[in-house]
């Protein structure tokens, strides 16, 4: 439509000449910058007006009546012909002064006491709305996500934000102002017909503009004081969420380690990291922000049903993206201020480790010499090398962090139970990889640098092995002891054995592999302790009577503790 520089344009002036009749005079004194549609015969219009005589006296006004005029243009019109003709070509928000000669108004008869005969009438008209019964919902896509896996279908439940305005631009409602989405089923009659039509086929994150004619909106009833009767509505809609009550958890495996030694089952205890987002990408929670895994049992109802289900069958180190519909998450109520009602949740999961409370130490032999005749056991003194990490490869600690490898006596409670068990039965230079569940490691409390409930992976190498003696003993016989013992111990046959003679005798037994001293303790200290136990009267020598004291009178024969 061409618009001249002047604000006043005269339309179809047929001036009095040779008895010809005057036509309507139109003064367009406000024209909107954008006009997508003009009034045509057959259209329905809604407008405000003031009607005056040429001298300015008012005879009628829609503003005084409190409601605008609504009618169809040029078809069985309810208005005088001149007014019907004067609104043709108008745009919404346009304002016109329409001067109507009497023959296109009330003519020679006038209208009762209000309009005198042959009166020229002047109408000030503001067009508020324009539609046609052939109109459809106009849908304009303002933004659409590139990756759209699903669109709105009938019977889906949707959550969306919107701004609702009239054609003249007046905002009548907004979900943004309420800081809450509008939530509803589609195709069940709970929404405006035009809104349902506009929502179909939308993707999450898509933004559309709907122009809905009145008969697909609130029609002649309007909506309270916000939406007048016969109003065309414009909705700017952003789809936030969509799901169907028939939806199940959707699991997308993004990365899986090879090999997967074991898959999680109900009853396992699992540690995992996660990022939780809504379908529009908004993050609502993250374990990474707390620098702590989420730890729970599987299949026991400790987490939302969708996650409980999605964790079944995972491998350590696996990455999964899980989409959980609301009925398997927090449902219609949501969760406080964190999760809105009826929200679809997306979790990106990284499985750190899992175990079962019944798990034992897993031992995998990496290297073992063929000629291995001597293996580690409880009470042995060993020197070993180790690296400790979590199952996801996070390094925790290593013997390489210290000047020399550690020495420890097995079976004495000096190590975590699982490591002690994993070090037993090893040959010198044997290498193992052992997996230790938390209840045989640092448990629910963890340790310095070790998370709570962590499964530990140890790489072990046995460097040295000294066979030990049973707990509580300082010396054991490897072969039968001399019988009788005292004469063999009394090397100079003087009927008494001082410390020097006792030490020489025991060292001889060790040298000839007849017996073994407690490893890891200075031998002279061990020998002094052994001597003190036998020198019962503490006179500095052992006699045959002291050596032959019966410890338990019900048992036959002499008892010599270590000897």
Helix (H, G, I), strand (E, B) or coil at 544: helix
Instruction: Report the 10 Å Cβ neighbour count for 46.
Output: 25
Rounded to whole angstroms, how far apart are CA atoms 174 and 172? 7
pLDDT digit string (tens) for 99-131? 999 999 999 999 999 999 999 999 999 999 999
Q: Is 49 a catalytic residue?
A: yes
- pLDDT category of residue 21 using cuts at 50, 70 and 90: confident
Q: Provide the pLDDT for residue 348.
A: 98
Which tens digit of pLDDT belongs to each residue from 36-94? 999 999 999 999 999 999 999 999 999 999 999 999 998 877 899 999 999 999 999 99
Reported confidence tier of residue 507, pLDDT bands at 50, 70, 90: confident
In whole angstroms, what separates CA 521 from the centre of its chain? 56
CATH number at residue 540: 1.10.238.10
284: domain CATH number is 3.10.50.40
Q: Which domain holds residue 320?
A: 250-355
Mean pLDDT for 168-180 is 94
Q: Which of 11, 53, 59, 182 is the catalytic position?
A: 59
Residue 415 placed within a domain: yes
SS3 367: strand
Residue 30: predicted pLDDT: 95
Token look-up 């089952």 returns 265
b/e 360-375 (16+ beta carbons within 10 angstroms → b): ebbbeeeeeeeeeeeb
Q: Out of 438, 466, 494, pick the residue that ends a domain.
A: 466
> Which pLDDT score is estimated for 561?
62
Interval 473-487: pLDDT, tens = 888 887 888 888 888
| pLDDT tier, 241 (very low <50, low <70, confident <90, very high otherwise) | very high
Pairing, β 345-355 against β 269-278: antiparallel
Q: 22 — phi, psi (to 5°)?
A: -75, 155
How many distinct structural domains can be found in the chain? 5
3 is catalytic: no
On whether both 177 and 254 belong to a single domain, the answer is no
Judge whether 19 lies within some domain.
no
Q: Tell me: do 37 and 127 sit in the same domain.
A: yes
Specify the range with the lowest mean pLDDT, choosing from 16-30, 271-285, 531-545: 16-30
CB 381 within 8 A of CB 466: yes
Note if 80 is an active site residue: yes
> Do residue 41 and residue 75 come from a single domain?
yes
Residues 409 and 430 in one domain: yes
Confidence of residue 560 (pLDDT cuts 50, 70, 90): low
For tokens 């405000």, the residue is 48
Residue 42, pLDDT score: 94
pTM, rounded to two decimals: 0.74
Residues 552/559, Cβ–Cβ less than 8 Å: yes
Q: Of the candidates 110, 131, 152, which is a domain's last residue? A: 131
Asked if 123 and 32 sit in the same domain, the reply is yes
Known active-site residue 400 = no
Q: Could you say which of 410, 443, 466 is where a domain stops?
A: 466
Query: For the residues 188-214, what does the mean pLDDT come to?
Result: 96
Q: 185 and 259: one domain? A: no
Active site residue 106: yes
Q: Of the residues 80, 304, 339, 346, which is catalytic?
A: 80
Active-site annotation holder among 44, 49, 272, 330: 49
Same domain membership, residue 378 and residue 327: no
Tokens of 107: 């003519």
pLDDT at 219 over 70: yes
Beta strands in 31-136 (DSSP E): 44-53, 58-61, 69-72, 95-100, 121-131
């Amino acid at each position: 439509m061409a618009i001249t520089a002047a604000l006043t344009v005269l339309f179809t002036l047929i001036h009095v000449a040779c008895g010809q009749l005057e036509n309507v005079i139109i003064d367009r004194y406000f024209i909107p910058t954008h006009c997508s549609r003009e009034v045509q015969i057959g259209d329905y219009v809604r407008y405000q007006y003031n009607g005056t005589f040429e001298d300015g006296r008012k005879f009628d006004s829609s503003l005084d009546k409190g409601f605008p005029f609504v009618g169809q243009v040029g078809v069985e019109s309810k208005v005088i012909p001149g007014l019907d003709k004067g609104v043709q070509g108008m745009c919404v928000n346009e304002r016109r002064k329409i001067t109507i000669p009497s023959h296109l108004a009330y003519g020679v008869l006038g209208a009762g006491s209000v309009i005198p005969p042959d009166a020229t009438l002047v109408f000030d008209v503001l067009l508020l709305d324009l539609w046609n019964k052939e109109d459809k919902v106009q849908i304009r896509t303002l933004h659409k996500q590139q990756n759209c896996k699903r669109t709105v279908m009938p019977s889906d439940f949707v959550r969306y934000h919107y701004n609702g305005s009239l054609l003249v631009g007046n905002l009548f409602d907004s979900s943004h102002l309420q800081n809450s989405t509008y939530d509803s089923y589609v195709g069940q009659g709970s929404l405006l017909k035009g809104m349902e039509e506009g929502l179909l086929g939308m993707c999450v994150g898509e933004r559309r503009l709907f122009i809905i004619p009145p008969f697909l909106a609130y029609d002649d009833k309007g909506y309270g004081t916000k939406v007048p009767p016969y109003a065309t509505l414009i909705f700017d809609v952003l789809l936030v969420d969509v799901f169907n009550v028939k939806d199940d958890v959707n699991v997308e495996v993004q990365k899986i380690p090879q090999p997967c030694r074991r898959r999680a089952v109900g009853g396992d205890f699992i540690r995992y990291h996660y990022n939780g987002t809504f379908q529009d990408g908004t993050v609502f929670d993250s374990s990474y922000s707390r620098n702590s895994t989420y730890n729970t049992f599987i299949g026991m109802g400790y987490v939302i049903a969708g996650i409980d289900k999605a964790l079944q069958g995972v491998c350590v180190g696996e990455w999964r993206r899980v989409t959980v519909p609301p009925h398997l998450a927090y449902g219609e109520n949501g969760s406080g201020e964190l999760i809105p009602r009826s929200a679809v949740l997306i979790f990106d999961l990284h499985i750190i480790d899992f175990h079962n409370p019944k798990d034992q130490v897993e031992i995998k032999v990496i290297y073992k010499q063929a000629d291995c005749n001597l293996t580690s056991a409880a009470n042995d003194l060993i020197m070993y090398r180790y690296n400790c990490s979590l199952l996801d490869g996070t390094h925790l600690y290593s013997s390489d962090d210290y000047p020399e490898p550690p020495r420890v006596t097995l079976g004495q409670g000096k190590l975590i139970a699982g490591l002690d068990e994993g070090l037993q039965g090893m040959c010198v230079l044997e290498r193992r990889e052992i997996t230790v569940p938390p209840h045989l490691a640092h448990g629910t409390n963890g340790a310095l640098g070790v998370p709570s409930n962590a499964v530990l992976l140890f790489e072990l190498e046995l460097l040295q092995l000294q066979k030990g003696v049973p707990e509580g003993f300082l010396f054991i016989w490897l072969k039968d002891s001399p019988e009788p013992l005292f004469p063999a111990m009394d090397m100079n046959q003087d009927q008494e054995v001082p410390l020097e003679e006792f030490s020489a005798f025991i060292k001889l037994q060790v040298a000839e592999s007849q017996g073994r001293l407690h490893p890891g303790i200075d031998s002279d200290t061990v020998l002094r302790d052994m001597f003190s136990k036998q020198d019962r009267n503490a006179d500095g020598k052992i006699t045959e009577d002291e050596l032959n004291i019966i410890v338990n009178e019900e048992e036959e024969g002499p008892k010599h503790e270590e000897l």
